[in-house]
């Protein structure tokens, strides 16, 4: 199995303007964004998969089965 990375990026109340350049670069290169819907809505142009944040056990199961 190839190595996969998970990045945790904090999002404040500032919306799009609150993300630094590195955070936006990581988001732009991501295959999947996981977060609350209000955060996912900040990225309407994102072409990868968007997954609303669910119960942690559900998210861990999803991450274990994702290639």
Give, for all 67 residues of the chain, the pLDDT tens digit. 567 888 998 876 776 677 888 998 999 999 999 998 988 998 999 999 999 998 989 888 888 887 6
pLDDT of residue 2: 67
- What does each C-alpha distance from 12 to 20, 45, 48, 49 come to in angstroms? 11, 20, 22, 22
Q: Confirm whether pTM is higher than 0.85.
A: no
Burial call 23-62: b when 16+ CB within 10 Å, e when fewer: eeeebeebeebbbeeebbebbeeeeeebbeeeeeeeeeee
């Amino acid at each position: 199995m190839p190595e996969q990375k998970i990045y945790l990026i904090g999002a404040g109340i500032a919306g799009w303007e609150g993300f630094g350049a590195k955070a936006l670069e990581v988001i732009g290169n991501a295959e999947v964004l996981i977060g609350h819907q209000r955060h996912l809505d900040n990225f309407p142009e994102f072409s990868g998969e968007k997954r609303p944040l669910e119960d942690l056990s559900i998210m861990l199961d999803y991450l274990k089965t994702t290639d």
